[in-house]
Structure 1
């Protein structure tokens, strides 16, 4: 086999090319598996990415020639990504794929063409865009889940450790933990309900009166006071006048609420009421998310553990949960999962550690 047609390829180069070939094949399969779980434009984009990986695969096949050898398996992380893609196909898989594209070695490899290196950079942005769609779809729910669970984990661990460090009986710690769970969850639910209801009421106050649409056909075309409506909504005078004249021209052709509604009329383009959800739904979600986190520090006491043993078990359970939520945040944000996990752990344990030390300072003994 010749590299660049001027010298035989070394054994190290052949091994590297075979590894690249296997990785490209595995990455193309990941995108095909993801495409099977999607439809429409997203499916077309994923299949186009698989086709591009196929072109890269052909490049390494050409360099290897008759040295292709037995087909190898891709890197462990790529095979794991394929496993997730076949079974889940969620935004988490896209976030992992985004990180995989960012690790491409082609920039520093003379045997990869500049086009291939550029492709990998662009693939990262394409996958980032697809992942961003998924992040946007679950942004509200995910944010509520992460904040709710973490608030429950940290606040109730801090409460349980602080009270436990004073040396009170285990039963007191248990009831304190349950009270903290209920108080925190109810407070979160009530706060979320008030927040969402207030937001909906503000939106309702800002929504145009439907009765105003019926008078559009009677407006003075010369004065065109409809322009003032759009200027009040933030449009520039020129844009407001142009938009108002378009609305009035349409009204002249098809008078009535239906005709106005089709062109936009006075109504907002997006149903923001639907986007923010309902107060009851938000309150219920916040209650459940907080409670699911706050129950973990209480579990050792529910099962009869006491003293330092219960403290250690509670800290381990909460620590694992903090690492998990931090890693999930990292995956969705496209950042290193382990860094987000460690950050979450340090923040949570830092807050709980302060109350534990205060309990030791003002109490008697944990044992």
Structure 2
């Protein structure tokens, strides 16, 4: 069989990335947080003039504590959000069962306000009443802006946050773990990691790779400068 001819005037098929926040958000947020947290932590402790062994111990403790905190926080956050959405969906389901005409009219009114002709809006809203599952999905989408059936996994969010925070947090520790006891080398490696993370994010946001990388580098540098200054002041006063 020959393939069907393609009309050259029709637009080429295209696909969109998943922008619902599913797995990209906890992974990116975890990695960025791990990098910035441990870069700032190492800068602050290093500014206080502690030895390399203490600095590494502090960095490892920050990695473990931060990864656990991120994982638990993401799990609780996503699960709570899912439970709230399910409660609101159940409320909307009850309203559709008790007041179908009023709900159909409300849906049609929202479409009319957005420019749809009244007759067409009423026809579509009434047609949805014959398909309760689809009616619920459309009402939830229109009124709350969420999908009634597609919910992110709290376990996936927790695991991704834990793993990527750990990866980000270990980057500025690498020079010490490899035997290079130099704070500025560690901060430089951490800054390079931040720049690469920003470049990676640019693949999904369509921003210029270098502006995205520099943005993350500057934000991390500001955090490191603040904690380094505080660490230096405390170290001097303690001495």
* Distance (Å, rounded) in 2 between the aligned partners of 1:352 and 1:210: 48
Residue of structure 1 equivalent to 2:102: 228
Relative contact order higher in (CA < 8 Å, ≥ 6 apart) = 2
Secondary structure at 1:358's aligned position in 2?
A: helix
- CA apart distance, 1:245: 4.2
For residues 147 and 339 of structure 1, the distance between their equivalents in structure 2, rounded to whole angstroms, comes to: 18
Match of 1:201 in 2: 83
Aligned to 2:38: 156
**Cα distance 1:202–1:173, how it changes in 2: closer, same or farther (>3 A)?**
same
Aligned to 2:205: 333
Please tell me whether the aligned partners of residues 137 and 148 of structure 2 are also in contact (alpha carbons under 8 angstroms): no
The DSSP-based 3-state class of the residue aligned with 2:163 is helix
Is 1:173 matched with 2:55? yes
CA distance in 2, matches of 1:305, 1:134: 44
Output one character per residue of 1:253-297: Cα deviation in whole Å (capped at 9) or x when no partner.
Answer: xxxxxxx447x24x2147836533111111111111111101112
Q: Distance in 2 between matches of 1:242 and 1:204?
A: 28
- 1:184/1:327 CA distance change after superposition, 3 Å: same
Aligned: 1:146 with 2:28: yes
Three-state SS of the structure 2 residue aligned to 1:176 is helix
Local SS of the residue matching 1:276 = coil
In the alignment of these two chains, the number of paired residues is: 217
User: In structure 2, do the counterparts of structure 1 residues 159 and 209 end up closer, same or farther at CA, with 3 Å as the change threshold?
Assistant: closer
Q: In 2, Cα distance between the equivalents of 1:159 and 1:276?
A: 35
Distance apart, 1:244 and its partner CA = 6.0
CA distance in 2 between partners of 1:335 and 1:226 (Å): 45
CA offsets 1:2-38 (integer angstroms, 9 cap, x no match): xxxxxxxxxxxxxxxxxxxxxxxxxxxxxxxxxxxxx
What aligned pairs does 1:278-357 form with structure 2 within 5 A after superposition?
A: 278-306=153-181, 309=182, 311-357=183-229
| Distance of 1:230 and 1:211 partners within structure 2 | 13
Match of 1:185 among 67, 70, 74: 67
Is contact 2:171-2:189 (8 Å) kept? Answer: yes
Partner of 1:119: none
Alignment of 1:50-89 (within 5 A): none
Report the equivalent of 1:6. Answer: none
TM-score normalised by L of structure 2:
0.74
Distance 1:325 1:140 in 2: 19
CA–CA distance in 2 between the matches of 1:235 and 1:200?
Answer: 27
Q: Residue 163 of structure 1: CA displacement?
A: 0.6
Cα 1:188/1:226, change in 2 over 3 Å = same
RMSD: 3.6
- Against the structure 1 CA distance between its residues 167 and 245, is the aligned structure 2 distance closer, same or farther, given a 3 Å change threshold? closer
Q: Which residues of structure 2 form unaligned runs of 5+?
A: 1-5, 111-117
